Amino acid sequence: MRLIPSRPVTIERVRYGCRWFPYLFRHTDDSLLLYVQYGHDANFSPAMRLRSTDNGHTWGDACDNVPRQCWSHSFRDGELFEIDTYGVQDPKSPEHAVYWGAWSHPGRVNDAPRREFVRVHAPSIVGTPLSKLIAGYPTHQWWPLWNTLWGRDDMSADQIMLTGPVFTSGVELENGRLLAVAYGVHRDARGKCCVVALESTDRGHTWREIAIAMRADSTPEGPDEASLICLKDGRLYLIARTGAALHQNYSSDGGSTWSKPEPVRLIDDDSRTPGLVWPVVTRLDAFGGALVMVYGRPGKDLIYDPTGTGTGTGTGTAWRYGLDLTKWELESQAFLEVPPEQRIHRPHPMVRDWDSSDYLGVVPDGSRGAIVVYDVQQYIEHAGAGPVSAVRLVRVAFDG
């Protein structure tokens, strides 16, 4: 199978401002929803949503139904569910975390979103006081949630307990049952994260933990940012960041039990270790259920599995290396005569403001292949242009 990338195009840019951490999602009505954080790279950076009805060629006005969306799900009847990143402990029911949630029908005229509380019971996850977060402080978007729960508006950062996991991915199973994966610090792991499986039977209003989907305390971080997909054989496939190699495992019983996690390796390149941050995997039904995954840091990469299984007989993996999107971006800047010293670069691994967050999004592109998005910082698009913070889009066609 040969992968043919289009030249990257800019779909959102600002000269004075920020565009970070894009999340790309295809809704039931085939529109594309793009979520982008527009604050600084920190906790509580708010996010906005853009919508495209022509497969990503043009994008409409921005909106936000929750302050910082972390996961969206389309129901089969066209309703969209969105959940915020941060949950807070309910003082009247301390075992529950409460989040902002929203239910809407994007594109439906005069259909205002319903913004309501989402309640989550995840006993494996330990909380932390708001005062312990050192990278940023919440703005007004979050305070109404916490003030309502406490019935007062003079709470201190030491009194507000952030708890509950961060939702990152999910699928709809039989009878409208939602299964999501989310990560947080495990109560017994001394600061290491785990991924829990959560289910909802009321369209996302309430959730309960049904299993620890992945735990790997021997890795630097423990599993955190995770992507869940249903394979063509019906198994659930989970892949997660760990601080080292990406790890993968499976469930054959709808998320109740999970196999032992193992590192992801490439069948065609032993020297390259997939990772480190936010793996996002999607299934291409137009290509027999083949899988495509993007991940970042350092750089931005795309790998693919033409078997659609995640593992190959006798090899332990079926993933193959596809594209170095950072290299392709540099070639595109050279094509547009951007001087070498002005092309994207990173003088230090943690100085992302000169390059990219290296977080990517990917969705199927009909019978053609996949659409990939990522952010760029201090970006010069062509000779003579000024630097911008932007979101770029690449279409990857599959041949063979």
- The mean pLDDT value for 71-94 works out to 95
Structure-token match 């507000």, residue found: 160
CB 29 within 8 A of CB 78: yes
In the predicted model, is pLDDT for residue 71 greater than 90? yes
Neighbouring residues of 349: CB distance < 8 A, sequence distance ≥ 6: 297, 298
CB 99 within 8 A of CB 68: no
Give, for 194, the enclosing helix (H) or strand (E).
strand 193-200
Residue 380 DSSP label: -
Helix (H, G, I), strand (E, B) or coil at 45: coil
State the Cα–Cα distance between residues 196 and 213, nearest whole angstrom: 5
Give the pLDDT band of residue 134 (cuts 50, 70, 90).
low
Total length of the chain? 400
Count of structural domains, the chain: 1
- The mean pLDDT value for 39-48 works out to 90
What is the per-residue pLDDT for 111? Answer: 82
Tens of pLDDT along 258-300? 999 999 989 887 777 787 899 999 999 999 999 999 999 888 9
From the number of C-beta atoms within 10 Å of its C-beta (0-12, 13-18, 19+), residue 171 rates as: middle
Nearest to 197 by CA among 128, 121, 127: 121
pTM above 0.85, yes or no: yes
Token output for 54? 């022509």
One-letter amino acid for residue 356 of the chain: S
In the predicted model, is pLDDT for residue 319 greater than 60? yes
User: What's the distance, Cα to Cα, between the start and end of the chain in Å?
Assistant: 5
DSSP characters over 235-288: -EEEEE--SSS-EEEEESSTTSS-PPPEE--BTT-TT----SEEEEEEEEGGGT
Give the pLDDT band of residue 114 (cuts 50, 70, 90).
very high
Torsion of CA 12, 15, 20, 26, to 10 degrees: -10
Average pLDDT, the chain: 92
In the predicted model, is pLDDT for residue 202 greater than 60? yes
Token output for 20? 């970070």
Percent of the chain predicted with pLDDT > 70: 97
- The mean pLDDT value for 340-368 works out to 88
- Who has greater pLDDT, 238 or 275? 238
Helix (H, G, I), strand (E, B) or coil at 81: strand
One-letter amino acid for residue 13 of the chain: R
State the Cα–Cα distance between residues 53 and 35, nearest whole angstrom: 15
CB 242 within 8 A of CB 225: no
Give the pLDDT band of residue 315 (cuts 50, 70, 90).
very low
State the Cα–Cα distance between residues 74 and 28, nearest whole angstrom: 6
Strand 206-214, strand 114-121: pairing: parallel
- Please say whether the dihedral angle defined by the alpha carbons of residues 83, 87, 91 and 94, taken in this order, is positive or negative: positive
Largest CA distance in the chain: 62
- The mean pLDDT value for 169-174 works out to 94
State the Cα–Cα distance between residues 260 and 164, nearest whole angstrom: 24
Rg (CA), the chain: 20
* φ and ψ of 259, to 5 deg: -70, 165
Give strand ranges (E) for 285-387. 290-296, 300-305, 320-324, 360-365, 369-379
Tens of pLDDT along 14-32? 999 999 999 999 999 999 9
Within 13 A of 279's CA, how many CA atoms are on the CB side? 31
Give the pLDDT band of residue 313 (cuts 50, 70, 90).
very low
Token output for 119? 């309640």
Q: Which domain holds residue 225?
A: 2-399
One-letter amino acid for residue 381 of the chain: E
In the predicted model, is pLDDT for residue 232 greater than 70? yes
Helix (H, G, I), strand (E, B) or coil at 331: helix
Give the pLDDT band of residue 352 (cuts 50, 70, 90).
confident
Give the pLDDT band of residue 312 (cuts 50, 70, 90).
low
CB 28 within 8 A of CB 104: no
- The mean pLDDT value for 240-260 works out to 95
* CATH number of the structural domain spanning residue 395: 2.120.10.10
